[in-house]
Chains A and B, each alone.
Chain A
């Protein structure tokens, strides 16, 4: 098994929001599990990638969803010519060979699934493969990182306290106007003026949060809009396509945002 295929070669661009880079480094050097919290598309995944690159460690990412089960994380038996064969899951791989394991959108997974990480995230740092009858001691480089969007909290979807309380947490939010504009210039390759306007649209939409919108427009969508503009699409069109249509089916909200866009772009 060559774990180095999970290493990140080129520096992923990341514009720090505050001192999260130092905080993460400290957590990693003590191998503390980390939870990154924040709304969708605010740069959580990008940050973790960036840190893996910075620390020179391989990273294995798992996007969680409702159907993910413990065996998707740990591993399972498959059938081959000689009968059944055990295949390590991503969590096992990371623990065995020493990678950062990043469980993205962890609330999406059912609560009982998450119990498998418990022994890995306390002083034991071990993972038991019940079906295989093996107990893995985690590699010294191994670290578990999860991401979590508190906005989604509902009665049905929340982390158990016993899960939450195994992590130290970094709180993210959409970057400040100035930073966000810088990100758009870097990632979407648009000029400063366009970037600033896009940021303003984002701000306008975030004001509607709770008044019909569950979440505001993410940095990710703004990067999309910038990219479309960079492709030569008229800005108003690009914004409607990337910023409005994806986030709402409500006609009034759509009309409101469309109008705000027209007013901002001018």
Chain B
């Protein structure tokens, strides 16, 4: 740019803020290098315009900084478009959002491609504003949208995870669910709340662990016969250090989402990650980390990773193509060792060479170690050790060390990360570990869940909850902890049974009538197990008298068979402690009696049957207590658990039903029945709207129906009709005289399963 040109542009720039004048030459230079002369003029017009909207110099400067790139990509028209949009913001109650809007615009534009997308982006922000700025009636004034600034500041993160459609859904969820709680809304848009994370996970492209969990669980059992549990870590929020899969003595940690990579699906990436870690689990032993310098550790890791993969491929040859498709291919000469430390680059090329026999390393040292490695492996196979690799790794590092390059401050990272490999903490142990184990496990790997230290409990599971107002699910909203119900004296249950001796006798008759051994006689059979004398004699007479005899002279028997799986889900919330003033019995005691008798009945019938109790203390803790499993007989242990039942907390029924359903779902049966025994409506202390959990439970019933599970409610609340019908349609029984429960529960059951 010559001086004349500069002067010309300077004249056109009418903004006189001193800071703007001072920075003008640099900014202009940048613009001129990226835009056409008309483009530069449009750019300056936009700047002049923003100068006059009464927001000071800051927006002008941010605008001038980001626009050249944007206008170069999307066309000079964007200058005016953005300046106008800025003006509109500045005039609105959301004027605080102007700077965040402008300063994150560059990030957003780098992730989108077409001008239509940029228009859509602005439209999405407008939608949010429309939804959230509060109009105070009668005052003609409008209040700002509480989450606007937070939202725009989070935009670089959002746009790096989600497409615009996903962002739109994300915003929509936050705006509608937190319309009345500004602080929660802000936390949501700052991406601090659990929901924000869940929604992002839901909206992300790629494969979530949740979608493929069962498959991976089975793959782990079936290919590796390993019973370590999986645990996921969130990937959406660590910008600086991306967490890496890891394996230790207690868990297999994998990311919550895998996007496609090199055309390999998220599912296949999970499979590769699993296979790699399982190979470590099977074949790796530990090395003392303190014995090796960090650089040497890197190369030992490469050899060890390659060794366990070699063995895995030997066992499962199909893994080779999978590993190859994901393993980076660092091009020859990509790393300039005058500028960078090529340590990682070298390690990854070595790793590729060990995996891929078609890879031409063009490097005599790598070739030499490739041969050494393969010599060890073909000689020793499964008897090769992590130690062997420690030797190769150390030797390789010593031979390949280039003082000049490895110590360069800047590390060359391109194409060096093998994304399906874990961080290899599994193969290292540290001398200090004995004193300060916390130091070794960095915080970023802390599981999000609070872990309940109880050997009888299972890892928590999360369930979506239905929000009838926004008509959408709140993902992973309720956390269900399942544990084994404590036990007391089994004799108590036998005592209760004895008390109901007469009832048992009556039930026995009904049971006999339902029992599958019950035979029906079928007459007029050509083949059967007994001669039907009446008919046979008639046939003989027919025959002797020259007529065609009826050959169907036998009778046979058939049995009508039952193939039912039942889940009895018992409410154990606080309200069951209520005492019946006449009898002095609590609802809980009645429930225990009813359970004992029903369990006995179902046991006699031989149906598949399980029992669990549930209660809840906010969505963060739904308790699900295992009383009887499908594979357990109705034995003393089960009785002991029933006898120990206690009532406390609230009734988050939907989550409990969804959890119970996943067991019922796994049963092989023609008919699946979930009986819910409760004394009141679904409710919990963290939910104010009484309809909310009723609607959620209704939704749960609907979901179960979709899975072929028939839900039926037996309620002790005489006033239940309104809500119980909403939830269970007409599949319910209200027990008006609660002391009849022990009698009615088994009968309801038999009626349902006739």
Contacts and interface: CB of A to CB of B under 8 A. Distances in A.
Interface of A: 66-67, 69-72, 76-77, 79, 83-84, 110, 131, 154-156, 200, 204-205, 207-208, 211-212, 214, 252-253, 255-257, 259-260, 262-266
- Closest 9 pairs between A and B when the two form their complex, measured CB to CB: A266-B317, A263-B318, A69-B529, A263-B316, A155-B606, A256-B218, A71-B529, A204-B222, A266-B318
A70 B700 CA distance: 49
Contacts, number: 82
A224 B268 CA distance: 29
B218 A253 contact: yes
Interface string B601-623: 00000100000000000000000
Contacts of B316: 260, 263-264, 266
Interface of B: 214-215, 217-219, 221-223, 225, 271, 275, 315-320, 322, 516-517, 529-531, 536, 539-540, 549, 551, 553-554, 556-559, 606, 666, 668
Q: Which of B316, B554, B606, B668: most chain A Cβ within 10 A?
A: B316
Contacts of A83: 540
21 contacts: A69-B556, A69-B557, A72-B529, A79-B536, A79-B539, A79-B553, A84-B531, A110-B517, A131-B531, A200-B315, A212-B218, A212-B666, A214-B668, A256-B222, A259-B271, A260-B316, A262-B318, A263-B322, A264-B318, A265-B317, A266-B317
Contacts of A155: 606
A255 B217 CA distance: 12
Contacts of B223: 204, 207, 260, 263
Contacts of A71: 529-530
Nearest to B312: A263
Contacts of A212: 218, 666
Contact of A208 (B218, B271, B317, B606): B218
B317 A207 contact: no
Nearest to A72: B529
Contacts of B536: 79, 84
B214 A252 contact: yes
A156 B516 contact: yes
A72 B556 CA distance: 11
B559 A77 contact: no
Nearest to A255: B215
A51 B318 CA distance: 41
A222 B137 CA distance: 77
Given A156-B516, A207-B221, 18 more contacts: A67-B558, A71-B530, A79-B539, A79-B553, A110-B517, A205-B222, A208-B222, A211-B221, A214-B668, A255-B215, A256-B218, A256-B222, A259-B271, A260-B222, A260-B316, A263-B317, A266-B316, A266-B320
A260 to B, nearest CB: 5
Contacts of A252: 214-215, 218
Nearest to A154: B606
B310 to A, nearest CB: 14
B218 A76 contact: no
A179 B554 CA distance: 49
Contacts of B540: 79, 83-84
A77 B530 CA distance: 8
A76 B222 contact: no
A261 to B, nearest CB: 8
A84 B553 CA distance: 11
Nearest to B214: A252
Contacts of A131: 531
Contacts of B225: 207
Nearest to B313: A266
B448 to A, nearest CB: 26
A255 B319 CA distance: 16
A225 B223 CA distance: 19
A154 B559 CA distance: 17
A77 B529 contact: no
A73 B104 CA distance: 85
B665 to A, nearest CB: 10
B95 to A, nearest CB: 53
Nearest to B213: A252
B209 to A, nearest CB: 14
A14 to B, nearest CB: 29
Q: Which of B271, B516, B530: most chain A Cβ within 10 A?
A: B530
A110 B225 CA distance: 37
Nearest to B550: A79
B222 A207 contact: yes
B266 to A, nearest CB: 14
A141 B722 CA distance: 75
A24 B666 CA distance: 40
B219 A259 contact: yes
Nearest to A262: B318
B527 to A, nearest CB: 9
Contacts of B317: 263-266
Contacts of B222: 204-205, 207-208, 256-257, 260
A67 B222 CA distance: 36
A179 to B, nearest CB: 20
B219 A260 contact: yes
A250 B194 CA distance: 33
Contacts of A76: 529, 531, 554
A211 B218 contact: yes
Contacts of A253: 218
Contacts of B275: 263
Contacts of B558: 67
Given A110-B559, A208-B218, A211-B221, A70 B529 contact: yes
A211 B220 CA distance: 11
Contacts of A154: 606
Contacts of A77: 531
Contacts of B320: 266
A265 B317 CA distance: 7
Nearest to A211: B221
Contacts of B559: 66, 110
B706 to A, nearest CB: 15
B219 A256 contact: yes
A79 B549 contact: yes
Contacts of B218: 208, 211-212, 252-253, 256
Contact of B215 (A70, A110, A256, A266): A256
